[in-house]
């Protein structure tokens, strides 16, 4: 796999695109590149987009590819995608979306659950309620 050297580019400022805001990311031409911060984020996004390509999901989604990034003498695993934002669109991270609707921190709320499966179930339920995604899916499949 080709290693992309980004020494000539400054990463975007930590603008809250992730809940922690620690992930190095670049927008170069019409592509986004994100370096893993915890070691698995890029692979997770690639896996999910691969699964969605094989699904019957009626909604568009972002297709991610594995990327290897060199920056400041360090090699990062990560991912890349075409720029998916249209004019005047902004990305709203899940933490910000949750905080906007509940007034609470999602990270703090999830720490209330000892069991990982309970955290996942709570998160899924909240996303369904906030986004009304189930209603959208039901309409799309009728």
* 47-71 per-position pLDDT tens digit: 999 999 998 887 888 999 999 999 9
The pLDDT assigned to 18 comes to 47
pLDDT, tens digit, for every residue of 23-41?
899 999 999 999 998 888 9
**Tens-place pLDDT, residues 93-103:** 889 999 999 99
What is the pTM assigned to this prediction? 0.73
In Å, how far from its chain's centre is CA 118? 21
Rounded to the nearest 10 degrees, how much is the dihedral formed by the CA atoms of 86, 47, 38, 111? 90
Give the strands of the sheet with 64-71, arranged side by side: 3-5, 64-71, 74-82, 31-35, 25-28
**Cα–Cα distance measured from residue 70 to residue 81, given in angstroms and rounded to the nearest whole number:** 17
Average pLDDT, the chain: 87
CA atoms of 90 and 16, how far apart (whole Å): 11
Position 98 scores a pLDDT of 95
Buried b (16+ CB within 10 A) or exposed e, 43-53: eebbeebeeee
Q: Which domains does the chain have, with CATH numbers?
A: 1-86 (3.30.200), 92-142 (no CATH)
pLDDT attached to residue 67: 96
């Amino acid at each position: 796999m080709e290693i992309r050297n980004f020494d000539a580019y400054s990463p975007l400022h930590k603008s809250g695109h992730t809940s922690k805001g620690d992930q190095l990311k670049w927008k170069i031409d019409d592509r986004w590149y994100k370096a893993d911060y915890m070691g698995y984020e890029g692979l997770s996004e690639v896996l999910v987009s691969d699964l969605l390509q094989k699904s019957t999901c009626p909604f568009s989604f972002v297709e991610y590819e594995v990327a290897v990034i060199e920056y400041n003498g360090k090699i990062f695993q990560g991912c890349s995608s075409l720029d998916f934002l249209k004019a005047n669109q902004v990305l709203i991270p899940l933490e910000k979306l949750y905080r906007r609707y509940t007034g609470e921190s999602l990270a703090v709320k999830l720490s209330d659950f000892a069991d990982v499966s309970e955290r996942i179930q709570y998160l899924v339920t909240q996303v369904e309620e906030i986004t009304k995604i189930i209603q959208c899916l039901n309409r799309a499949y009728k």
